[in-house]
A and B are shown apart, each in its own frame.
Chain A
């Protein structure tokens, strides 16, 4: 498997996209520092990038890469190589190079300007989101043989989790606002990895936002060790579940 990962990495580097992505993140982070020296504001701006751009880039790039690697996958599968290894190699190589790009692009400027605890959280949640959306992208990719369709499905995932889901959540809150909704909304948040990452970050950055009776409830939950364990395991679940599902489909897929 390590041998295959090597070649996937090689292929990823050839496309240069990962390098562009790193450069983009670097430029953004440096620009935020130039515009505003305040760490809090820089991290907040990066939070928007993390919640919007990282999932989008991860999901689209992974899907395109999967279809561009179709020949490679076909070639490998005619060889004495396990399907699982091929799939995992592709997955690990894409996810780790995207994460690396994110960590380098955001982390380097902070190394220069001085690190800060929320930055670490930002990096960790960013990496988590990257893996989640690479998983979702692979899932979308094995669902169909049509590249355009797969990209469509992948974009839909992104659109759903970053916008539609929150709209539905707002609707639920609006409709049932007369009832105590804390537990319900808490579990609904857990069903969206982007929301989960956002809440974890907000707890680090501007807790003031989460004040008031309702906010205090969420803060107590997510601020506790149990809450952190809860968020981390849910994010892990969001990574593993689509990935396992995709691998199962891939194992039975006709090439």
Chain B
């Protein structure tokens, strides 16, 4: 359902019954939000004046529009979940949520939405919340332009920023998530759209999803996350124009693809990651027109992957362009630009006349003995690589790009 449709529905519904506006504030007649929720009829609007509201857990079970003025603060006092919503057609906007409780059994959240639909959560701020926005069994929800910040010190002291479980038709747009366990977490979420979000500095993954088919990710940025972005056990995902940047660490990835099928990964930028894309057990994916720049490994293609098409990508200034742990060639690697390519183009068709073998013997050595990384850029490694290029012994002979591009592609 589109936004316009939703607004129209609201309008129709609100004109059906008479809607009242309730103002909540320290100097108003209604001093507590809880009170206002109890008094209000479905479809009413609550205006929350600036101030600090310590009201424990607010349970909302009727359709209301709740608006904050100048970000009134809803304080969970480090022990409560703030909003628990079980109602359709709810709008939450302009609120600031702080200090939810921390619990290892219940997933306490600033906003928890259960079995609801047609809900909008926009322009809210979240500070030091265990879970920020938590959705379960919901559909048609808009989560837009929220800001979530947490400063946890270890993974088990903190929940996820935006957490979705068994949902569908969700739009997540222009949110900023920082310092949570996973920035955005999906499990069994389908037919959803995730655009222009910024997920940075989260303890584990910037984006983490499993069993979430037919979703689309566009124009998001995932930076400096503990382990990058991990996506698993999913089919038909579209990931376009996202930026994966600076995900450093011993087990960090720009993007980890595990059991991903029939998906499209295009026009993304992978910059300064330990591993640009790590692929495992994935098939029939289309990886094209991505930019791999200054990564440790641009692409780690495990032998369990097949029928993937890796075409027209730019590989520039990566330590290793491609490594694999097998010798079979089951994927198509074609027409990429490799900055290490030293071939020539006699017929001037902008395609190199000799194939390029992106796997270096040194990469293979480092795969087996990580300490050998210390010899990177040494004369010895240079000689080894040249010798191997001339006569492949250890690297799979047929793994090559038969039509390497002479110049980098311009994707802008």
A and B touch in the complex (CB under 8 A): yes
Contacts of B273 in A (CB 8 A): 208
Q: Is B370 an interface residue (CB 8 A)?
A: yes
Is the beta-carbon distance between B375 and A169 smaller than 8 angstroms? yes
Residue interface bits A2-23, CB-to-B below 8 A is 1, else 0: 0000000000000000000000
Distance (whole angstroms) from the CB of A142 to the closest CB of chain B? 27
Is the beta-carbon distance between A198 and B378 smaller than 8 angstroms? yes
Contacts of B383 in A (CB 8 A): 163
Contacts of A44 in B (CB 8 A): 377
Bound-state CA distance A127–B318 (Å) is 28
Contacts of B42 in A (CB 8 A): none
Q: Given A206-B319, A208-B274: A173 and B369 within 8 A (CB)?
A: yes
Contacts of A206 in B (CB 8 A): 294, 317, 319
Bound-state CA distance A166–B382 (Å) is 12
Q: Is B348 an interface residue (CB 8 A)?
A: no
Q: Is A225 an interface residue (CB 8 A)?
A: no
Is the beta-carbon distance between B380 and A209 smaller than 8 angstroms? no
Is the beta-carbon distance between A169 and B374 smaller than 8 angstroms? yes
Is the beta-carbon distance between A163 and B296 smaller than 8 angstroms? no
Q: Given A206-B319, A208-B296, A212-B250: A170 and B373 within 8 A (CB)?
A: no
Bound-state CA distance A113–B251 (Å) is 38
Chain B minimum-CB-distance residue to A213: B250
Bound-state CA distance A214–B371 (Å) is 6
List residues of A (146-188) whose CB comes within 8 Å of B's CBs: 162-163, 166-167, 169-170, 173-174, 177, 181-182, 185
Bound-state CA distance A177–B369 (Å) is 6
Is the beta-carbon distance between A214 and B370 smaller than 8 angstroms? yes
Is the beta-carbon distance between B378 and A215 smaller than 8 angstroms? no
Q: Given A51-B379, A166-B380, A170-B380: A208 and B371 within 8 A (CB)?
A: no
Partner of B319, one of A209, A214, A216: A209
Q: Is B295 an interface residue (CB 8 A)?
A: yes
Contacts of B344 in A (CB 8 A): none
Is the beta-carbon distance between A163 and B379 smaller than 8 angstroms? yes
Bound-state CA distance A149–B274 (Å) is 47
Contacts of B272 in A (CB 8 A): 208
Is the beta-carbon distance between B372 and A173 smaller than 8 angstroms? yes
Is the beta-carbon distance between A195 and B374 smaller than 8 angstroms? yes
Chain A minimum-CB-distance residue to B276: A208
Is the beta-carbon distance between B373 and A209 smaller than 8 angstroms? yes
Is the beta-carbon distance between B377 and A215 smaller than 8 angstroms? no
Distance (whole angstroms) from the CB of B365 to the closest CB of chain A? 8
Q: Given A169-B375, A195-B378: A212 and B370 within 8 A (CB)?
A: yes
Q: Is B29 an interface residue (CB 8 A)?
A: no
Q: Given A182-B371, A199-B374, A214-B371: A209 and B296 within 8 A (CB)?
A: yes
Chain A minimum-CB-distance residue to B372: A173
Contacts of A213 in B (CB 8 A): 250-251, 370
Chain A minimum-CB-distance residue to B380: A166
Is the beta-carbon distance between A189 and B274 smaller than 8 angstroms? no
Q: Is B248 an interface residue (CB 8 A)?
A: yes
Bound-state CA distance A47–B376 (Å) is 12
Total number of B residues with any Cβ neighbor in A under 8 Å: 31
Distance (whole angstroms) from the CB of A126 to the closest CB of chain B? 15
Interface of chain B: mostly helix, strand, loop or mixed: loop
Partner of A170, one of B250, B274, B375: B375
Contacts of B382 in A (CB 8 A): 48
Is the beta-carbon distance between A189 and B379 smaller than 8 angstroms? no
Distance (whole angstroms) from the CB of B56 to the closest CB of chain A? 44
Is the beta-carbon distance between A173 and B379 smaller than 8 angstroms? no
Distance (whole angstroms) from the CB of B285 to the closest CB of chain A? 24
Contacts of B252 in A (CB 8 A): 211
Interface size for chain A: under 10, 10 to 19, 20 to 34, or 35 or more residues? 35 or more
Contacts of A167 in B (CB 8 A): 380
Partner of B375, one of A48, A166, A212: A166
Bound-state CA distance A48–B296 (Å) is 19
Residue interface bits A192-208, CB-to-B below 8 A is 1, else 0: 00110011011000101
Distance (whole angstroms) from the CB of A194 to the closest CB of chain B? 8
Contacts of A173 in B (CB 8 A): 369, 371-372, 374
Chain A minimum-CB-distance residue to B274: A211
Residue interface bits B253-273, CB-to-A below 8 A is 1, else 0: 000000000000000000011
Bound-state CA distance A210–B214 (Å) is 37
Is the beta-carbon distance between A218 and B374 smaller than 8 angstroms? yes
Distance (whole angstroms) from the CB of B295 to the closest CB of chain A? 6
Q: Is B343 an interface residue (CB 8 A)?
A: no
List residues of A (90-136) whose CB comes within 8 Å of B's CBs: none
Q: Is B18 an interface residue (CB 8 A)?
A: no
Chain A minimum-CB-distance residue to B317: A40
Bound-state CA distance A198–B252 (Å) is 25
Contacts of A51 in B (CB 8 A): 377-379
Partner of B368, one of A47, A162, A177, A209: A177
Q: Is B249 an interface residue (CB 8 A)?
A: yes
Residue interface bits B230-253, CB-to-A below 8 A is 1, else 0: 000000000000000000111110
Q: Is A245 an interface residue (CB 8 A)?
A: no
Chain B minimum-CB-distance residue to A41: B317
Q: Given A166-B378, A185-B374: A212 and B296 within 8 A (CB)?
A: yes
Bound-state CA distance A211–B273 (Å) is 9
Distance (whole angstroms) from the CB of B326 to the closest CB of chain A? 20
Contact sample, A vs B, 6 pairs, CB 8 Å cutoff: A40-B317, A163-B380, A167-B380, A194-B378, A212-B274, A213-B370
Measuring CB to CB, which residues of chain A are less than 8 angstroms from any residue of chain B? 40-41, 44, 47-48, 51-52, 162-163, 166-167, 169-170, 173-174, 177, 181-182, 185, 189, 194-195, 198-199, 201-202, 206, 208-216, 218
Measuring CB to CB, which residues of chain B are less than 8 angstroms from any residue of chain A? 248-252, 272-274, 294-296, 317-319, 365, 368-383
* Supplied contacts A41-B317, A177-B371, 7 more A-B pairs, CB within 8 Å: A166-B375, A173-B371, A182-B371, A209-B377, A210-B373, A211-B248, A213-B370
Q: Which 10 A-B pairs have the closest CB atoms?
A: A213-B250, A209-B319, A211-B274, A166-B380, A214-B370, A211-B296, A208-B296, A177-B369, A173-B371, A209-B376
